[in-house]
Structure 1
Amino acid sequence: MSDAVLSVRDLVVGYGGRPVLNNIDLSLNANEVLCLIGHNGAGKSTLLKSLFGLVAPESGAILLNGEAVTPDPRGMTANGLSLVPEGRGVFPGMTVAETMKLGMWAAGVPEAERADRVDWVMSVLPVMKQFYDRRAGNLSGGQQQMVSIGRALLSKPRCLLMDEPSIGLAPKLFQDLLGPIRELQQSTGMSILLVEQNVREALKVSDRVVVMKSGEMTWEGLPSDLDDNSKLMELY
């Protein structure tokens, strides 16, 4: 698609000779939240890791703005991608401030811009100010997830990959997290690929949805197409 920010063509990925993704075709468009759903073990997290360069594909192509790339985390970050990993990935012994400092170093944010960059993230997620000097290991699950999202935003990505951000969170906390991200996406034109098990809440902030089953894409449509629970169960 001509307006695709990130896309894959015939992507095959496996572990130890065992295929996990089979000939995946997918496009994430500009100014879009694309929700990827599917059963546990379908290959959703593997796809995100491949897109960010954490898992190498066996074959196929990954394209960024229409150009084929060989992803690696530093290179993809430099090109406007950022990943919110499954399980949050925060260091429990570090304060939030230290986590942000490390995140800016990893993302290559120039030192002269770092204070402004933190201020910008805090404007998106103002609740972080309340626990900015606390150690991540002493935070609640929702607070840790906010730190993980804030760290991913430090590079001001044009494309955000989010892997199961609702894990361990009550629905209200998940809504409180996704609301500001949806507002940011709509105001900046950011593209988001959201992998999520909390389907109903995720569909509320999505523009399009795709379903993965056993390493293959099996359905694509609009969130409104899945208002009927029986249709959703059929796809799973």
Structure 2
Amino acid sequence: MSVSIPSTATPAPAMAVRGLRASYAGREVLAGIDLDLADGEVLCLIGHNGAGKSTLLKILFGLHPADAGEVRLRSRALKPHPSLMARDGVAYVPEGRGVFPGLTVKEIFTLALWSASLDAGEGRARIDEVLELLPKLRDFWTKRAGQLSGGQQQMVSIGRALLSRPSILLLDEPSIGLAPKLFQDLLTPIRAIQQRRGMSILLVEQNVGEAFAVSDRVVAMKSGVTIYEGKPADLADHAKLLTLF
């Protein structure tokens, strides 16, 4: 009689990179990055300007080519492309918001639903879900994005990404131009839905105080390589944190 033994193998990460290298105009930006984003975790990526953090996110979503290395999505090696990543449950919020200034918030959301080929009923359900998470969107629902403040535009950009109900969310510097309180107002509902759905988030952020409060793990980059990995609590000593920048 055979007896089955429960597997003790470590689950495959939601997303992983191995030996990733990339450059801009002949200058190396990533110099062999290895990184895992686990299922259901918020991983905060920190480092000085030019460390390669934003480039890494662009590669993961297919917006910049890698020179070498491998990207894996749930154990499957692939060549990232925006339409492919979106289809497979990856959403990306770029640095600088990237909203259409001439469209109203409602029109931006409608366009996102149309591009996802969702029917009217499902689209309405998705919008209601996002408005429940980010209720302040209702206050400027019919305003053009170009008339909104930086914080409001960032909320629109994040809300648009959440419409797709992603399993992996790539967030690039969401605090830029925001007061700490506004940034906290954005992160709190995102953390809530992340925990409820088991979503994985890779967060690139300089505002480490607020970002660490919602993160499970921290990785620091410097000059295109990773130099530190640990828990946010391990960096409570500011002197230790400053050595990473």
TM-score, normalisation: structure 1: 0.97
1:154-193 matches, cutoff 5 A: 154-193=163-202
Give 2:74's aligned amino acid.
Answer: N
The alignment status of 1:195 with 2:204, answered yes or no, reads yes
Distance in 2 separating the partners of 1:172 and 1:26: 30
The alignment status of 1:86 with 2:95, answered yes or no, reads yes
Tell me the residue number matched to 2:157. 148
1:216-227 matches, cutoff 5 A: 216-227=225-236
Give 1:233's aligned amino acid.
Answer: L
How far did 1:117 drift?
Answer: 1.1
Q: 2:241 aligns with which of 211, 232, 236?
A: 232
Q: 1:4 aligns with which of 8, 13, 25?
A: 13
SS of the equivalent of 2:193 reads helix
Tell me the residue number matched to 1:99. 108
Q: Compare CA radii of gyration and give the structure with the larger one.
A: 2
How far did 1:109 drift?
Answer: 3.2
Residues 154-189 of structure 1: CA deviation (Å, up to 9, x unaligned): 110000000000000000000000000000101110
How far did 1:140 drift?
Answer: 1.2
1:52-71 matches, cutoff 5 A: 52-71=61-80
Distance in 2 separating the partners of 1:108 and 1:22: 38
Give 2:46's aligned amino acid.
Answer: I
SS of the equivalent of 2:21 reads strand
Percent sequence identity over aligned pairs: 59
The alignment status of 1:28 with 2:59, answered yes or no, reads no
Residues 1-40 of structure 1: CA deviation (Å, up to 9, x unaligned): 6330000000011112221101100000011000000001
The alignment status of 1:13 with 2:39, answered yes or no, reads no
Residues 49-86 of structure 1: CA deviation (Å, up to 9, x unaligned): 00000001011000000100111001100000000110
Tell me the residue number matched to 2:122. 113
SS of the equivalent of 1:166 reads coil
Tell me the residue number matched to 2:53. 44
Give 2:99's aligned amino acid.
Answer: V
Residues 90-139 of structure 1: CA deviation (Å, up to 9, x unaligned): 11111001111111233343444211111111111111111111111111
SS of the equivalent of 1:36 reads strand
Q: Which moved more, 1:162-171 or 1:112-121?
A: 112-121
SS of the equivalent of 1:123 reads helix
Q: 1:214 aligns with which of 207, 223, 229?
A: 223
Contact 1:162-1:193 at 8 Å conserved across structures: yes
Distance in 1 separating the partners of 2:187 and 2:209: 13
Q: Which moved more, 1:115-124 or 1:84-93?
A: 115-124
How far did 1:41 drift?
Answer: 0.8
Distance in 1 separating the partners of 2:118 and 2:60: 22
SS of the equivalent of 2:17 reads strand
Alpha-carbon RMSD across the aligned residues, in angstroms, is 1.0
Distance in 1 separating the partners of 2:113 and 2:172: 21
Distance in 2 separating the partners of 1:109 and 1:181: 23
Give 1:118's aligned amino acid.
Answer: I
Distance in 1 separating the partners of 2:194 and 2:231: 18
SS of the equivalent of 1:4 reads coil
Distance in 1 separating the partners of 2:68 and 2:117: 30
Aligned length: 236
SS of the equivalent of 1:121 reads helix
Q: Which moved more, 1:76-85 or 1:98-107?
A: 98-107
